[in-house]
Structure formats: structure tokens, C-alpha cells
């Protein structure tokens, strides 16, 4: 066991999913994100597409994959809004890249670590959205930090339940 190289260990720890999971899970996250506010009202303190991006980035440990997945999911999120397309795309792209980069170096299996990472990356995504909207595009945007913290906390808690569920979807090597 000690003779195993790092690349081999990384390849062993990379999760592989069927292609349908890569398509359907982000799609389901987008649909739920658009539908749940009808049920929960204003208590929609979560960002499911970002969670999905973070999960696949962490478990795939591939920054390009995380980058592209984050870009696609973010663009689809933007496409469902009235705002410019790309704002969430940039944020999710950066988060996906960073999450995958962290996943390369660390084994993120611990639940507490996942909670912290989800909280931090969700907060980062929110900050990036604010930066892109206000800083890059120069558009006026009302932003409440407490709301963003609540969204991050919500994502952290949901990730505790969602990540083990998504782990069950991985394919057999």
C-alpha cells in the first residue's frame, strides 16, 4: 500500500458517475431551485446548483471539469433570470475550479469539512456575484450580507444530506 504513487491514489479516489447523472442531477438542481420557492416562499436560503457544482468538482478532482460544469450550470441559472447571462456563470466557474483544485490536494470525505467548504464556497460565490455585477458590469445591486450568510449556512446543512445521497449515484469501477 505504501508503494502506491500519488497519481494512482488520486485515480482510485476519483468518483465516476454515469453520464445521465451528470446531466440529470444539475438539471434537477436547477428545477428544484426554480420550483421550491413556490413551496417555501421566502425561506429559500440555499443554492442547489452551486452545491451540485461543488460536489462534482470535489469528487471528480478535475479543475477543467469543475470549471466547465460551473460555467454551464451558472449560465443556465442566469438564463432563468432577467439579468445578464454569465454572472452566476463566472461565480460558479471560479468555485468549481477552486473546489476541484482543493479536491486534488485534500481528501474531502469528512462531513465537517464538507460543511465548512460548502459554507465558504457559497459565501464566495455570493461575493463573486456581487463583484461581477457591481464591479465589472457597474450595475446597481442591493446586497444583504446576512442573507448571503443564511444561504451559505443553508447550503452547508443541505450538503450534509445531499452529498451522501449523491455518493450513492456513483458508478462501479
Partner 1 sequence: MESFFSRHRNLIVLLAVLLAQIIGLAVQVRRPARGMAAAAQTSNPDTMQRGDSRSVMLLRLWAADIVTPPERLFHAVDQEAVQLWSGYLDLVHLRAQNLQLQQTIDWLRLEQAMLSEDARQGQRLQSLLHFQQSYPGKTLAAQVIGTSGNLQSHLLFIDKGSADGVRTDMAVISADGIVGKVRDVFPHTAQVLMINDQTSGAGVILEKTRIRGILRGDADGRTEIVGILADSRIQPGEQVLTAGGDQIFPRGLAVGTVTGVVRDPDRSAFIDVILKPAALLDRLDEVLVLTDIQSQLPSALQSDLAQSQAEQGQAASAELAREQARRKAAEEMAERLPGWQQPVTPANAQGAGGTQPAAPPAPKPIPALHPDRFSPGYDAGSSTAPAQNSPGDAASKPTTEKPQNRSQL
Q: Does residue 27 touch partner 1 according to CB under 8 A?
A: yes
Cα–Cα distances (Å) from 146 to 8, 45, 46, 102, in that order, read 43, 11, 13, 26
Q: Does residue 141 touch partner 1 according to CB under 8 A?
A: no
Tell me if residue 81 falls in helix, strand or coil: coil
Pick one of 10, 15, 17, 80: the residue that binds partner 1 (CB under 8 A).
80
Q: Does residue 59 touch partner 1 according to CB under 8 A?
A: no
For residues 104 and 61, is the Cβ–Cβ distance under 8 A? yes
Q: Identify which of residues 31 and 115 has a Cβ nearer to partner 1 in the complex.
A: 31
- For residue 68, with 0-12 CB atoms within 10 Å meaning exposed, 13-18 middle and 19 or more buried, which class applies? middle
For residues 61 and 69, is the Cβ–Cβ distance under 8 A? no
Q: Does residue 90 touch partner 1 according to CB under 8 A?
A: yes
Chain residues binding partner 1 by CB under 8 A are 27-28, 30-31, 34-35, 38-39, 63-64, 67-68, 71, 75-76, 79-80, 84-87, 89-90, 93-94, 97, 101, 132, 136-139
Amino acid at each position: 500500500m505504501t508503494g502506491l504513487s500519488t497519481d494512482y491514489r488520486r485515480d482510485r479516489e476519483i468518483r465516476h458517475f454515469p453520464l445521465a447523472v451528470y446531466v440529470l442531477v444539475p438539471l434537477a438542481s436547477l428545477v428544484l431551485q426554480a420550483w421550491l420557492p413556490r413551496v417555501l416562499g421566502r425561506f429559500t436560503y440555499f443554492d442547489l446548483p452551486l452545491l451540485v457544482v461543488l460536489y462534482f468538482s470535489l469528487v471528480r478532482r478535475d479543475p477543467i471539469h469543475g470549471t466547465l460544469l460551473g460555467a454551464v450550470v451558472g449560465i443556465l441559472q442566469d438564463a432563468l433570470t432577467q439579468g445578464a447571462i454569465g454572472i452566476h456563470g463566472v461565480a460558479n466557474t471560479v468555485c468549481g475550479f477552486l473546489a476541484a483544485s482543493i479536491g486534488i490536494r485534500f481528501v474531502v470525505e469528512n462531513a465537517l469539512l464538507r460543511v465548512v467548504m460548502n459554507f465558504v464556497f457559497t459565501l464566495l460565490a455570493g461575493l463573486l456575484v456581487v463583484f461581477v455585477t457591481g464591479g465589472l458590469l457597474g450595475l446597481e445591486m442591493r446586497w444583504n450580507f446576512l442573507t448571503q450568510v443564511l444561504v451559505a449556512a443553508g447550503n452547508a446543512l443541505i450538503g450534509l444530506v445531499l452529498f451522501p445521497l449523491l455518493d450513492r449515484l456513483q458508478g462501479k469501477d
